[in-house]
Amino acid sequence: MDTDLQPADNVTAIAERLALAILEHRLAPGTKMSEDDVGEIFGVSRTIVRAAFQRLSHDRLIDLRRNRGAFVAQPTVREALEVFEARALLEPRMARSAAERATRADIAFLRDHIGQEHAAIHARDFGRALYLSGQFHVELVRIADQDTIASFIRQLVSRSSLVIALYWQRRHALCESDAHHTLIDAMARGDGALAEKVMTAHLADLLASLDLRRRTSGTMSLKDALS
């Protein structure tokens, strides 16, 4: 049985836990992560932590500065715009493909996914809700069955999460927009053209809801964030 997706690989496991902490906004952009501290928290040596850092750095989730250490990335305004431009180029087409390929099981899975997201909101776990909201896009590309583009989207969605952490003022109004529902409906009907259009609009909305002039701040200790 390999239903247990726990990676037997230490560095993967730790990279994923760190990524989740960032994506759920438990670790604020700019936070410094010392190799020793992280290693001690997870009970591994710096060797492992460094490898995990390098992976996250390649996904632009953290910024690795030579002889200085690892910091949760702080996308600039320019990077934020680039990320959304890239998403606008890729995701609508993926939404179309997904709509054309989605099975009944896929649709059910996505509906369940949104269910979890709502549950998280209800439990006031906004970090997790935000993470799931991003994962929705990743799942969509998975259905489109394009692994290569999926890896790009995964990175872009992750970076979007950082952008949101930095430039989103009104937190609690999160993705209430039922864009995801609309998307699923279009997919359930196999309407690729509509799905593509809805996705385009959804991404534009997301970008428009940011205030790129102001940056929110806030920090938290490592141990608390990685519990």
Mark the segment that binds DNA (CB under 7 A) among 32-40, 102-110, 169-177, 179-187: 32-40
For residues 66 to 95, the per-residue mask of contacts with a copy of itself, x marking binding by CB under 8 A and - elsewhere, is x------------x--xx-xx--xx--x--
Name the strand (E) or helix (H) holding 71. Answer: strand 69-72
**Would strands 32-33 and 62-65 be described as parallel, antiparallel, or unpaired?**
unpaired
Start-end of H helices in 43-103: 46-58, 77-101
**Choice from 17, 46, 55, 60 touching DNA (CB under 7 A):** 46
In the stretch 78-107, what mask flags binding to DNA with x, by CB under 7 A? ------------------------------
Q: b/e map of 19-39 (b: 16 or more CB within 10 Å)?
A: bebbbbbbbbbbbebebeebb
Cβ at position 134, least distance to DNA in Å: 27
Could you tell me how many residues of this chain bind DNA (CB under 7 A)? 19
Q: Which amino acid is at 97?
A: S
Distance CA 75, CA 83 (A): 10
146 lies in the site for a copy of itself, by CB under 8 A: yes
Q: Is 147 one of the binding residues for a copy of itself (CB under 8 A)? A: yes
H/E segment holding residue 33:
strand 32-33
Q: Which of 225, 217, 227 is nearest to 33 (CA)?
A: 225
Nearer to a copy of itself, 10 or 135 (CB): 10
Choice from 6, 68, 208, 227 touching DNA (CB under 7 A): 68
Q: How far is the CB of 63 from DNA (least distance, A)?
A: 12
- Choosing from 3, 4, 6, 9, the residue that interacts with DNA (CB under 7 A) is 9
Q: What tokens does 99 get?
A: 């709509």
Residues 113-132 that bind a copy of itself (CB under 8 A): none
Q: 32 has which bridge partners?
A: 71
